[in-house]
Every structure is written in structure tokens, then in C-alpha cells.
Amino acid sequence: MKLLDCTLRDGGNVVGKGFDNKLTVMMIEGLIEANIKTIEMGNCLGIGAYDANDSIAPLNDVEYLDLVQPYLDKAEIGMFIGVMNANKENITLGHKKGLHFLRIGANAGDGKLAEDAIRLMKEIGIKSRYAMMKGYILSPQELAQEAKMLESFGLDEITIMDSAGTMVPSQVREYVSEMCKAVSIPVGFHGHNNMGLSVANAIAAYESGAASLDCGLMGMARSAGNLSTETAVATFKRLGLFEDIDFYKLLNFIELKLEPAMEEYNFTNPIKPIDVIYGYAGCHSSFGGLFKSVAEKKEVGLYPLIVEVSKIDRKAPSLELIEQVAEKIKSKNM
């Protein structure tokens, strides 16, 4: 299981059609530092949309591509491309600029339109991903058969998109299971949070065989947002996955850099990092003030302090216990 972070593509909808150079660099560096290294970025509507669809972002495609050059050896970075813009010019531009993948997006049922583009990507040697937008408009069996057709064109990975956030876990299980049976390529899931089910649907997708999950920092994306990157990491760490992701670096990045930067756009994080930690650790928030005062006094990180103490006592951690654990953390870090 891996995360495909698409904050820098879908998340750009919260500010317009994409992020500026400062925010783009900030988020790429923050993700890489936390060891989240599959990243989709650029114009919200994908490469080619700036001109073809009048989707005017702060940067055009070439400017986004030039901006990410220093990071191409540090992460798997790619762009979205709407099926109507998936022509030779746009595909070869992405390949020439060193992108690791392009992800074609088309509504469920329109897969045949992507055949030439997928075959071209295969020919020139760029990974081809595909997003089945509004996947719920077809039955699980119909969607699986379309995926099988797309695989025959040479597709490398495929994603079921719950574009309206309408699916419930039982549906996700059926769609993902049917598709995993039909194809040999990795299947991903992209869930929106319109009914507050993005985490539950992510778990259902994983349990049904999904190999990747789309996510966004602070849940940033169109409409009610995507599965948030940080809650995905917390949830799946609880399930024994994502041990390679630096959870505390991710949360510190969000709290100290990203949240303040997004204030300019009136975007408020719906689930603060501290609340993610309370849930992850099983710590009641009423103890928050005590943890904070000890963390400041002992000069240790608040997040690991809460987690380590909660491993010992989640009912009523004492000041003495919290201070003892803080000293152990401090000596370990020295």
C-alpha cells in the first residue's frame, strides 16, 4: 500500500486552478521530508488545460515542470492529463521534462478515448496511470471490464475515483474487489469526503486489494476535500503500515508551515494535527494542557510525548509519568 499525494493538483482547487511557486515548493519539500514520495502536481485540470480549457493557474505547464526539476531525483512526480488533452504534444512535453508519470483522467465509460495516449506513453517510456472519474456511474462489473480493456492498451496503474464522495464502504469493497479480480495492474482509490467517509472508504479499499490511495494534505481538494494525508498516515500506521513515513515530521510541517501559509486563502484545516495525534494515541484531549506544559518545560516534542505516554496509560496519565517519559525522550534524542 502506498499514498499518492495529489494536494498539488486536486488541492489547488481551494485557491483557484493551482498553487503558486512558493506553495508548490513548500509542499513538495514537506512531503519528501516526511518520506511521502509519489506526488501529483500542476494545474488542477491537468497538463494542457491552461491553454485548451482556459484553466488559468498561477503557473503554466512549463513553469510548473521547470519548478520541480530539482526534486525529480527525490520523488516520483507526475501530472494529471484530461483525456481530451492527452495528445502527443502534451505527453511528450511531460516526458521531455522528466516526469515519472502522467495520469489520464476520463469519466467512467470513456476509456476507449484514451487508447492512443496510453499506447504513446508506453512507446516513449513514461508511466501511464489512469483515473476513472465518477466511477460510480457504472456498475462494479462494468467498471472492471473497462479497466481490463485499458490494461490491454498498456496501462500501468488504474484508480477508481469517487468524484462526488457518494460511495459507502460496502460499495468501495465491491468496486475494488471486482477490479482487482479483472486486472493484474495496481488498483488505486480516490475518495472525496462529502459524507465524511473518506477514511472508512480508504480502509475498505485497502482491505479489498487496493495498492494505493489518493490523498491531500489537510484534506485539500475540490468540494468537501479528499482523504487527508495525515489522517491516512495515522490510520494505516495503526494498522501496521506506512512505517517508513515520518509521521511527526509530517504533522510538524502542517502545523508550523502549511496551516499558516493557507490562512491567506481562508482555508482552515478541518482536523488539526494535535487532534490527529489524540486519535492516533488514544489520548483524551482533556489532558492536552498537561502534556503541553511538560513538553515546553522539558523541551521535547509534544506529539511523541503524547504517543509514548499513552502507550503506558490512556486512562489518567499523571504528571509524574508524563515527566518521566519526557526525560526518556530527551535523553534518547541527546
What is the domain-level CATH number for residue 141?
3.20.20.70
Classified as helix, coil or strand, 5 is: strand
Residue 272 counted as domain residue? no
Joined grid coordinates for residue 209 = 486489494
Rounded CA-CA distance 238/78 in Å is: 29
Give the bridge partners for 290, in sequence order: none
Record the pTM: 0.97
Question: Which region holds residue 46: left if phi is over 0, alpha if psi is between -120 and 50, else beta?
Answer: left
| Tally of domains in the chain | 2
- The torsion region of residue 137 among left (phi > 0), alpha (psi -120 to 50) and beta comes to alpha
pLDDT for 332:
86
Q: What is the pLDDT of residue 334?
A: 64
What are φ and ψ of residue 212, in 5° steps? -150, 155
Residues 183 and 90 in one domain: yes
Estimate to the nearest angstrom the gap between the alpha carbon of 201 and the chain centroid: 14
My answer on whether 324 and 244 are in the same domain is no
Residue 61 cell numbers, joined: 505547464
Cα 296 → chain centroid:
32
Are 183 and 296 members of one domain? no
**148 half-sphere exposure, CB direction, 13 A CA radius:** 11
Could you tell me if 289 and 247 lie in one domain? no
Please report whether residue 277 resides in a domain.
Answer: no
pLDDT tens track of the chain, all 334 residues? 999 999 999 999 999 999 999 999 999 999 999 999 999 999 999 999 999 999 999 999 999 999 999 999 999 999 999 999 999 999 999 999 999 999 999 999 999 999 999 999 999 999 999 999 999 999 999 999 999 999 999 999 999 999 999 999 999 999 999 999 999 999 999 999 999 999 999 999 999 999 999 999 999 999 999 999 999 999 999 999 999 999 999 999 999 999 999 999 999 999 999 999 999 999 999 999 999 999 999 999 999 999 999 999 999 999 999 999 999 999 988 6
Q: Does 168 lie in the same domain as 67?
A: yes
Same-domain check for residues 234 and 296: no
Instruction: Please tell me the distance from the alpha carbon of residue 174 to that of residue 210, in angstroms, as a whole number.
Output: 12
Same domain as 291, residue 167: no
d(CA 329, CA 326) in angstroms, rounded, equals 5
**Is residue 274 a part of any domain in this protein?**
no
Of 215, 238, 265, the position where a domain reaches its end is: 265
Amino acid at 97: K
Q: Which residues contact 185 (CB under 8 A, 6 or more apart)?
A: 151, 155, 156, 157, 158
Burial class (CB in 10 A: 0-12, 13-18, 19+), 320: exposed
Parent domain of 37: 2-265
Residue ranges of the alpha helices (H) in the chain?
21-33, 49-52, 61-67, 88-96, 115-124, 140-152, 169-182, 198-207, 229-238, 247-253, 259-262, 273-281, 288-298, 302-310, 319-333
What is the distance between the alpha carbons of residues 45 and 47, in angstroms, rounded to a whole number? 7
Q: Which amino acid is at 59?
A: L
Write b or e for each residue in 169-181: b if 16 or more Cβ atoms lie within 10 A of its Cβ, otherwise e.
bebbbbbbbbbbe
Strand, coil or helix: 167:
coil
Q: Are residues 303 and 219 in the same domain?
A: no
